[in-house]
Amino acid sequence: MDLSRSHVMVCGGTGCVSSSSMKIMDRFNELLAENDMDREIKVVKTGCFGLCEAGPIVVIYPEGAFYSQIKVEDVDRIVSEHLVKGRMVKDLLYKGSVEGEVIKSINDVGFYKKQQRVTLRNCGVINPEVIEEYVAYDGYEALGKVLTEMSPEEVIQIIKDSGLRGRGGGGFPSGLKWEFTAKAEGDQKYVACNADEGDPGAFMDRSILEGDPHVIIEAMAIAGYAVGADMGYVYIRAEYPIAVNRLQIAIDQAREKGLLGRDIFGTGFNFDMEIRLGAGAFVCGEETALINSIEGKRGMPRPRPPFPAHKGIWNKPTSLNNVETYANVPQIILKGADWFAGIGTEKSKGTKVFALGGKIQNTGLLEVPMGTTLKEVIYDVGGGIPNGKAFKAVQTGGPSGGCIPAAHIDTPIDYDNLIELGSMMGSGGMIVMDEDNCMVDIARFFLDFTVEESCGKCTPCREGTKRMLDILDDISEGKGTPEDLDMLENLADTIKSASLCGLGQTAPNPVLSTLHYFRNEYEAHVNEKKCPAGSCQALTNYFITEDCKGCTLCKKACPVDAIEGERKEMHVVDTVKCIKCGACVDKCPFKAIIKK
């Protein structure tokens, strides 16, 4: 094979693909062929770089030049300048990588500097559809080591010693889970991978499957060896077509190379795996509902015990882990339990991937050691809050988690600290909120989601969450009473203790945590019929201040003629007629219209 002098890495993650990165890749190939350089420069489709805000992303090696927000038209210049003449196209480079005359490599950009990429190590580095590239970065070495040098008990011991805990939400020690399954009695055992990522805003599992699918195959085979299973199932939602496709390609390649199948590495160990597609119900991320769904039944939870380790898929002992958990396993095997246990805090080891979204500069995916503070994640990696607004709170853990207010921004992130603050790790979604976000509205948003997604099997969850949502709707429309707040807490208590599965048990968390930290906001809605953040439409009105110059632009923009006033005189909004569409605010050149 020819050696290339340069590699053009084009992001093939869902985010960049949806902003036409595949067309960008085609254009590169086309132009390189035209310039007769297609034999010396290789265009590589790769996984998510994490800085989705700056997508579509193209990185060119050996320089590590980091091009961001590339359009198809820009490719011509990158080829003719950078690739033909060796001059980087400065105005297309990511802004954070250019400092005066100095151009920094992608690894020196602020967003990446504080990160430690363990599970995302291959995302943006390899082509996920070529097994050799995974092998080049130590791929399948851990599986080889486990099969040829270690006993199943030793494998379980090293995972236990590493302190790895489940990354899907609960944080249960993974080694223990494996041990339970290994010790359970059964002629047939299974391993399964939970890739039913349902939290709104979380997309780390998708990115790992899209950027590094072989790591899941390798880790599941290792788990299979440890617990005594020869079959694995990956449960993944059909809404992730790219991830499904790449995982299937990876499985086919692994079979072809004999890394799945019979007598792997000549050791007599057999292992194969299959993909099971989910239809995207949130509750199917709950382990027993997921198992039902794999079996072809309706996705509803079963009572526990028996736990899946004893009675899982087809009532056989099953070890079920999340994608991100699996992605840690091969490296723990290769680098040792001590290496992994050396990262993180006392009870939360290793790194964690977070999907950062909301009011944040660098929307995207990042991986930091456990124990990194919220402040470091939001300001150092996330780049802070845009438009000079003040940070108000961060929501972690999705619909099962809670809001953490600015006062706790110095908290080191780990499983236990987040629970103490009334939130949870969840799968690692992090939604940042600024002063314009109303906390009642946020709680309503998440509750609305759980009401939709409740499977309906048990009453507290099905009925209780609906009643809570009704109350929140009333509050945000100014129809709430002080007693409603007590009622909310009362309902929350019942739902938490009487629901069958994790969905119901955690559904009230967004309401409880906002009630705890932002009770004054709820009280303002209830007592004064005001929304302090100016977000609840029914409770806010538009006013024109003395800055008005009487230009009449707002009057013309108003669709319901609710603005009165003569030219060069101060205008007035008729709050009865006003439908609060905000069209006037956008038009006013003097910023004289305010929401109150």
Chain residues in the site for other proteins (CB under 8 A): 1, 3-7, 9, 40, 61-64, 84-87, 105, 107, 125-126, 132-133, 135-141, 144, 148, 257-259, 263-266
Eight-state DSSP code of residue 580: -
Choice between 88 and 404, CB closer to other proteins: 88
SS3 assignment, position 76:
helix
Question: 61 has which bridge partners?
Answer: 7
Length of the chain: 596
Choice between 258 and 482, CB closer to other proteins: 258
Q: Nearest distance from residue 356's CB to other proteins, in Å? A: 25
Give which of 223, 237, 294, 215 is closest to 427, Cα–Cα: 237
**Which residues lie below 8 Å from residue 168, measured CB to CB, with a gap of 6+?**
194, 285, 321, 322, 324, 325, 427
Q: How many CA atoms lie within 13 Å of 187's alpha carbon, on the beta-carbon side?
A: 0
Q: Nearest distance from residue 153's CB to other proteins, in Å? A: 21
Q: How far apart are CA 195 and CA 202, in angstroms?
A: 12
Cα-based torsion angle of the residue sequence 397, 403, 407, 409 in order, rounded to the nearest 10 degrees: 20
Choice between 143 and 182, CB closer to other proteins: 143
Choice between 138 and 463, CB closer to other proteins: 138
Choice between 49 and 446, CB closer to other proteins: 49
Handedness of CA 120, 122, 126, 127 (dihedral sign): negative
Q: Nearest distance from residue 258's CB to other proteins, in Å? A: 4
Give which of 16, 95, 103 is closest to 58, Cα–Cα: 16
Q: Nearest distance from residue 86's CB to other proteins, in Å? A: 4
Choice between 139 and 502, CB closer to other proteins: 139
Q: Please calculate the CA angle 327-333-336 and round it to the nearest 5 degrees.
A: 115
Q: Nearest distance from residue 211's CB to other proteins, in Å? A: 14
Q: Nearest distance from residue 62's CB to other proteins, in Å? A: 5
Handedness of CA 302, 304, 308, 312 (dihedral sign): negative
Q: Please calculate the CA angle 178-183-336 and round it to the nearest 5 degrees.
A: 35
Q: Nearest distance from residue 97's CB to other proteins, in Å? A: 14
What angle in degrees, to the nearest 10, is found between the helix axes of 323-335 and 141-149? 60
Choice between 215 and 356, CB closer to other proteins: 215
Choice between 136 and 279, CB closer to other proteins: 136
**Which residues lie below 8 Å from residue 268, measured CB to CB, with a gap of 6+?**
none
Q: Nearest distance from residue 132's CB to other proteins, in Å? A: 4
Q: How distant is the alpha carbon of residue 471 from its chain centre? A: 30
